[in-house]
Structure 1
Amino acid sequence: MKFSFDFLPVCLYFTIFYVYPRFQNQSLLKNQINASFPITFYHKVYVDYRTSPPRLRIFSLNPCIKASNYLLVHVYYNGTITKLKLNGYSFGFYEGNCPPVYGPARNCFYVPHHFYGVLPENGVVQKVSIQLGHREAFLSEIVEIGKSYEKGLTVCLQIVYYYSQWQNVILYIEAWRAQGATRFIVYFHSATQDTKKVLDYYEKLGLIELRPWPNVGALSSYIAPYHPKIDDSVFIIASHIALQVCSLEIRTELGIVADFDEVMVPGDGSVLEYAELVMAGKNIGALLFENTHVGLEPNIYTNDFSGMKTLTFINIFAPPKYIFNTSLIDICETHSPGKFLHNSTTTLFSNGTVLHFRFNIKEIKANVVEKPYRFFPNSTEGHIWNMHDTVRTVWNFLFFHV
């Protein structure tokens, strides 16, 4: 059985970040971010009702700012305009440092920022414009969050790029569904034809929600020649914007952000059942899961998933991942909750682990250890059959079930 690996890049202009300039005469205030500053905005504005009064939240990519810098915005509602100052700070890989100290992101010129301010009255917003001096950026897609949540677990998947492999997709969806996931939000940039075929298959079944994540695009032509191109600087950084906005748009009580090679499992039962039991009715904002490297034999990239029956665990340190309470989380970081809405909210270590299945497990020099975890809380054989059956269905290929 042969699979093609033609790249399918998304070359559209990046509507998610690009804003159209509108010129006007406006004097600048002290420390106000203006049109000479290289900044691009995520196209959605969030009205967060989880606090009282509600907050207006905007996300951007730009160089580091000072604590005194702010955005000046106009909030439109029923024909009236309210001026609002939004304070901001950077997030993602930073540990309070900007520029970041994390290796792969150290040389990034643009970093993700969060701008926020308290809304007047009931927080109803129809449109927002960002005042940048001679530029006025309109953000008209308003997303209200935090009014209510339903039971369940939503999985936010980091941006899918061309190196994502379709075998990971099949194992990921099968395992997370078995662990109780009720919704998948998948941001898509590019993929091989085979990976895209698998994603389209799950989308048609209604199991995942594919959202486009194309290239960021260019700055205003007036300042672009004087700054690095955004798409040359945001590969690892852009994922933090995706992580954050996905966590805000979760409609279930619990959420998780995980890569294609990560599945969280408890000591017994499903991770959804475990998290609901431990976190229900308590001021627990997140459950941390230790990270365990897992080897599969045969490797899933042989298109054979029978390695799920016998897992090899490698004793090597890797940072944890976490499940979070959607009503309590404020800022999501990659490996731990960055910030909660309330200082009294706590984080607990779980009795489970992240099964981190690595393609190069044989190259890692570490001891093999025994652990009781498995990908599926019930019949592993049945799930292996399901995954092989998915391969057969997608490619009309008769797979021998091991």
Structure 2
Amino acid sequence: MLGIVVGEPINASFPITFYQSAYVDYRFTPPRLRIFTLNPCIKNYQFLSADLHLNGNNFAPVRRNIYGTHLDDDCPSALIKKVTIHLGSRKVELNVQKVYKKSTEGITVCLQPVYYYSQWQNIVLYIEAWRAQGATRFIVYFHSATKETWRTLEYYRNLGMIELKSWPSFPSLPVDSADKYPKIDDSVFILSYFLAMNICILDIKTTIGTIADFDEVMVPTNGRLLDYATEEMTGTKVGALSFENHYVLFTPKIYTSHFSGVASPKFKILTWPSKAHKIFNGVIPKFSSKSYDALQECVNKIM
């Protein structure tokens, strides 16, 4: 005989916290409701009990059990304006944002949340290098940093290059479960990285998007990344491009606030087998020194 597994609702004793908004993703047919959380792994039979509030005053909320997989087609996701999560004695309300298909040509770069960041020189080099590759929009989730780092981000925000979005410290767990689990903020730097990236991906409105840390820039052997990616992916079934890691050294180091070393970088090739010869063709990308003046101008204004 086959055993029957009875669903188990997640209650207030379960260590879970929610991002401030839910999303209705119109890139799929039918649209999908997306709710983001930080929590331990859940079992296949565990679910969230949720009321879906629909547009219009004449519609009563629709109760649904939300598991780890997407709901069936009868979910009225296109009409949802608010979600109420019931966790036993605890209730969480989430407003809903809409996500549409990408439309504008360009590259959107998603950044990890900025936590206690001090190396503002990385940010200057990063943004200017990505701009040279065709990046048109940067999304930065900001938590905390030094004054110099904030001034750098503010400078590029004022240029209209980046969007700064506040990234929260996450609240404590409910009293009845707080002593059983680590504090969420103690490890949120790692956990929130993946949460922020998934949320940022929904906010990409350009034809190309990427996730890259402040010390990562992706370049093809010739030309701009935007042109290369567009050529490789348009009209094909290619959904992503993979780049091999190469380390670069600058002399003097950019942390001296002097960027002259950018004009003559030294590359360190990793020793493990290459997985991306088609992109680099076995050749280290050439670096243009034209960006140096722009870098130095930015540094002077920030300093």
TM over 0.5: yes
Aligned-pair identity (%)? 47
Q: Match for residue 250 of structure 2?
A: 296
Aligned mate of 2:83, from 94, 116, 128:
128
Q: Match for residue 17 of structure 2?
A: 40
After TM superposition, the structure 1 = structure 2 runs for residues 252-401 of structure 1, keeping only pairs within 5 Å, are: 252-316=206-270, 351-352=279-280, 371-375=283-287, 380-395=288-303
Does 2:89 match 1:139? no
Does 2:129 match 1:178? no
> Structure 1: which amino acid aligns with 2:8?
N
Aligned mate of 1:70, from 43, 47, 55:
47
Q: How far apart, in 2, do the equivalents of 1:86 and 1:183 lie? A: 34
Does 2:52 match 1:52? no
Gaps of 5+ in 2: 1-5
Q: How many residues align?
A: 294
In the superposition, the TM-score normalised over structure 1's length comes to 0.68
Q: Which has the higher strand share?
A: 1
Structure 1 residues 254 and 350: alpha-carbon distance in aligned structure 2, compared to 1, 3 A threshold = farther
Q: Match for residue 325 of structure 1?
A: none
Maintained 8 Å contact 1:288/1:320: no
Maintained 8 Å contact 1:159/1:188: yes
Deviation of residue 224 (structure 1)? 2.1
> Structure 2: which amino acid aligns with 1:136?
K
Deviation of residue 220 (structure 1)? 2.2
Alignment root-mean-square deviation, CA: 2.4
Q: Which has the higher helix share?
A: 2
Q: How far apart, in 2, do the equivalents of 1:195 and 1:185 lie? A: 15
Deviation of residue 37 (structure 1)? 0.7
Structure 1 residues 296 and 169: alpha-carbon distance in aligned structure 2, compared to 1, 3 A threshold = same
In the superposition, the TM-score normalised over structure 2's length comes to 0.90
Partner SS state of residue 37, structure 2: strand
Deviation of residue 63 (structure 1)? 1.4
Structure 1 residues 283 and 371: alpha-carbon distance in aligned structure 2, compared to 1, 3 A threshold = closer
Deviation of residue 319 (structure 1)? 11
Gaps of 5+ in 1: 1-28, 89-114, 322-347, 354-369, 396-402
> Structure 2: which amino acid aligns with 1:62?
N
Maintained 8 Å contact 1:57/1:117: no
Deviation of residue 36 (structure 1)? 1.4
Q: List per-residue Cα deviations over 1:104-155 (Å, max 9, x = no partner).
A: xxxxxxxxxxx64346356121110112122221112x12113452221100
Q: Match for residue 3 of structure 2?
A: none
Structure 1 residues 138 and 314: alpha-carbon distance in aligned structure 2, compared to 1, 3 A threshold = same
Maintained 8 Å contact 1:291/1:318: no
Deviation of residue 84 (structure 1)? 1.9
Partner SS state of residue 126, structure 2: helix
Aligned mate of 2:188, from 225, 230, 234:
234
Range 121-130 or range 198-207, more displaced: 121-130
Deviation of residue 349 (structure 1)? 7.4
